[in-house]
Structure 1
Amino acid sequence: MRTPPTDRLLAWIWIVFATVNVALMWFLPGEETVPFHLVWISLALVYGFTTWRLSRMVAALAAVTTTTGVILAHHAAVGEIRWEETAEEPLMAVIFIVMAWHVHRRHLLLRQMRVLREAERDRAHQRELLVRLASHELRTPLTIARGYTELLRATHDQPSTVEDTTVVLDELDKATRIAHRLVTLMQLEQQPQARLVDLDAELARIVRRWAPAADRDWSCRSAVGRSRVDPERLEAALDCLIENAVKFTAAGDRIALVGRRDAGGWTVEVVDSGAGIPPEVVPRLVNGRPGRPTATGTGLGLAIVRAVAGALGGRVVVGVGPDGGARVGLWVPEREPAGTPRPGPVRPRSPDGPATPAGPDRSARRPAGLRHPVRSVADGERGGTRQVS
């Protein structure tokens, strides 16, 4: 094993320093206490800051013990010091041996930690690569299967065929969403690209993007202002929450994206008028505790939401909406200095039009242009107890 240049430099500095103090011990009989302890202290320091082989450590210990021991014995023999004072020599050697043993154990532990870190990094890389390849390989056959299914439904007008192909398309959409969320989870492990974002405008844009996809009463009320976030990750988390809201509401139900500032931070929530969340599910939703598998989802969406909230130093918040539905979102601690300009609340006017300021009493009104006959695969009639996915 080659010795690093820094270790060699420290070793030579110690040799010079120790030689000077040994010389002082010899030429200052009766005053050798200070240089004696400086030799041992410097040996302990240089051994702690460098990486020595066992043979080098034993050679240094033998050299220091021999030279200082001979000098102390000579001074005791000529009557400069008492013989009892020479007992300090073996005691210092024993103390150094104990210290060296602990340093050796520490080096072994650090080496093991490095090995474990590298192994975990390799496993994470292999896991990410596997998920990416699997998701990529799944997308092509899913797209082909969807194309053939849509062709089959278009060429056969029998009610049974239409019903069967609709079920197949629903399942294909679920598999596509799972593949997409797996890739999103892998991307969340990378370093976030945070920048100063106007969250009010961002929330309004997300609502405009979702409005044509489901026949719901969409609205956006936000007074958060600007904050430093990764907009792509925040959008991924809100997409998961909005998708759940669409899944557990029916045509005409309300879905609102609400943003507000509160004590120490800001909150963004998806509020709906659907079936609500049963109390026994709330701990799993907030803390990520494992729950019973359900037929409604895989839990990947909630994992994405928790990962995004955790990366921002926040947490998932759960509550009951004003209509008895679910209120699920993220609370994020404030990272901007006080006095940051905050734009007023916004509300989308139409799917393609610009956002307009919202008045204090317009939150309950249904904006024109946000009701669409277009129904996505996630649309369906509300019923039963709401689960989380």
Structure 2
Amino acid sequence: MYTLKKKGNFSLVKAIVRKNKGRDIADEEFLSYCHDATVMKARGALLRPKWYQAFLPSLNPEQEIMELLVPNDNIDHVLSSIRDKGELHRSGAGAVFSFPCEEAMFLSQSEEVTKKVEGGSSSNTSASFSDDLVHIICIVQIEKASAIAKEVMLAGAAGPTISYGFGRGLRDRLGIVRVCISPEKELMSVVVNRFEAERIFEVMIQIGRLDIPGEGFIYTIPISKGLNSLTSFTSDSMYGVSIPQIIKAIDEIKGNTDWRSQADIAEGVSNSSSVTDRVYLENLVRLTCVAIRGEGDILIRAALDAGAPGASVAYGRQMGEEKTMGNTSIKLSNEREIIQLTLAPEKVEEILNAILKKASEEKFEDVYFYTHVIPKAFTYLGPPK
């Protein structure tokens, strides 16, 4: 059986950028500071600014999501490179943020070739990044995310991002009834200020009807450092600026985002009867397994057999590892599966060992794992007892 090399000095960097911008950012020099990098297709969401356009569907610009596993010593350098090359100082250009991994785990056969930034992390580099952001991730049935995204933007959140994936778990255990639940899922994420996080979280539960069986799952991950330039409206202002740009300018003048707190609204949401009856899941662990596409089904089955409640799968390609096909100019990328399981802390080791055992039996060598703490989550848990 394979053995794992566990390390606690890694973070996950996630960047949301315009379509094809990833190739401008992730050159060979940039990737040398990352242990691994995967890019996935996604779409954004924008509201139309005119009142008479309210009946029209929201706009969905094409985007890319970059997920990078980076040593902590290189975090500031990687964040700054993405900010500068991605032109994230411009409104609507994208977002970049990081959250530390509890553990990053590699097969003993794999070698780390990550280049280190000379002199370590720079405190000056991180000055333009915020430390009071929260990442909210919502997994829902196919074609349900757009309605949630619209309400989230109307509630004040900027730029939800939607990607496609598959869900495993509940549907696999329903027998013939599983035909009622599609395995296709939409994975929606939004970056918000921590003062807005609870209110936006509740809006997503309500609009997504996540208190109904089989409708979805939502959770939060605190961001240690990030920059969010995404916006919610198309810009055709006669003044050449948007509301998000004005808000960002006030943040810089005030020196913080405390002024944004909407205590009365948040209190009203939290005191409503439907909210007070909810039972939230707290202090869970997200276990992520990155594998070559095609190997995921076998690894997920091993996890489910070991007691995992479910898994979500997203597909992407490894950055910087293109291979030329024969004597042609055609380049092929290594396709990846990003498998995420949300678990009780005491189940992590058992599920991890089950996946590792199956990977060893099948001789899957290009597999690695990392974990994050999930402070708060919600899904349907059955009728109250």
- Report the TM range for the smaller structure's normalisation: under 0.3
Greater RCO, CA 8 A, separation 6+? 2
**Which structure's residues are more often strand, by fraction?**
2
The normalised TM-score by structure 1 is: 0.22
